[in-house]
Amino acid sequence: MTGKDIGQATIRDVAREADVSVASVSRVFNRLPNVRPELKERVEQAARKLHYVPHAGARNLSMARTGSIGIVLPDLHGEYFSEMLRGMEREAALHQRHLLLSNMHLDIGHGIEALRNMRGRVDGLIVMAPHLNLDDLFAQLPPGIPAVLLNCRANGLGMPELRVDNVAGAATMVRHLIDCGHRAIVHVEGPEGNVEAADRARGYAQAMEAAGLKPVILPGNFDEESGRRAVERLQAEQVDVDAIFAANDMTAIGVMVALRDLGVDVPTQVAVAGFDNIPLARLISPGLTTMAVDIADMGARGINRLVALIDGEAVPQMELRQPGLIIRTSSQLSAA
């Protein structure tokens, strides 16, 4: 009623101009076969004359289908999320879908609001919230929304999940560092309350203990800054360290930058390893040894699953993806 419509042409305007019914205009625009060519031509001419463009919102409402997918992320910082988004976008475009972004900042209240806001805007949701308890989140929502969860805390919601095997990945990395001859391996953890971070720390601790080594865990926050701080702390406390395994690549990069500033050579004096294999890991020097999660592909697969789910197809309940070890220079002791 209100609203600042500049008076754009509607389907009724076109119908009047072409002297046909709205149904016919609709049929022409939806390419239904049973329209006489002469009439079709008349409609198209009228539409062109009036600069008519169909109103997607109205279409969505009457068809109960939006063609959009809601992406609910905790943040957009860093290459991790942008890679994931890129993968999603690519796949969504293949399925003729748009992506509607919604950033649920840290607390659960905003999360709930964000999700509620999506109702009627999207056909389904991709939720990535490693820092929140999803059961609480979805409790507030009407049941039955198609959704795919990416790297979330396990839950009893019966929604398809896609996860990276962070425990196994971290263990693999620890074994690699041990193979390289390192013994005093320190882990810089991710943010508290983040499932992925917790799993990586767990994998690290298990592998260390399995090798008869003592785990040492420093707090971190998945960002460059926390890598830097971890190094400062190691330095201040004179901790003996052969290798630093950071919970993700950005932290590892912070570690490397801090070590460089201190004049400590990587990898000859201290080895460094990360997790994620963001594009940057390859470009920095020395190249960062890391666990490769094909982030863009994860995103793409998430979209793929969701589209299937929306179309009513069967979708695997859970997929656990194994990250692969990428060995670059940062981890290698000259004498292995």
- Interacting residue ranges for DNA, rule: CB under 7 A: 1-2, 5, 8, 10-12, 19-24, 26-27, 29-30, 33-36, 38-39, 52, 54-55, 58-59, 61-64, 120
Cβ-based neighbours of 61, under 8 Å, separated by 6 or more: none
The reply to whether 263 sits near its own copies by the rule CB under 8 A is no
Evaluate whether 162 touches 149 at the Cβ level (below 8 Å): yes
Strand partners for 188: 218, 246
The reply to whether 95 sits near its own copies by the rule CB under 8 A is no
The reply to whether 16 sits near its own copies by the rule CB under 8 A is no
The reply to whether 314 sits near its own copies by the rule CB under 8 A is no
Evaluate whether 45 touches 17 at the Cβ level (below 8 Å): no
**Closer Cβ to DNA, 15 or 201, answer by number:** 15
**Closer Cβ to its own copies, 9 or 157, answer by number:** 9
Cα–Cα distance for residue pair 311/307, rounded to 1 Å = 6
Question: Of 30-38, 115-123, 152-160, 318-326, which part binds its own copies (CB under 8 A)?
Answer: 115-123
Residue 157 C-beta: closest distance to DNA, Å: 22
Residues 199-218 that bind its own copies (CB under 8 A): none
- Which of these, 87, 86, 76, 83, lies nearest to 279 by C-alpha position? 83
Residue 11 C-beta: closest distance to its own copies, Å: 11
Evaluate whether 20 touches 39 at the Cβ level (below 8 Å): yes
Dihedrals φ, ψ of 228, to 5°?
Answer: -60, -45
Sign of the Cα pseudo-torsion (194, 196, 198, 200, in order): negative
Residues in contact with its own copies by the rule CB under 8 A: 1-6, 8-9, 51-66, 68, 76-77, 79, 81-82, 85-86, 89-90, 93, 98-103, 105, 116-121, 141-144, 253, 257, 260, 280, 283-285, 310, 312
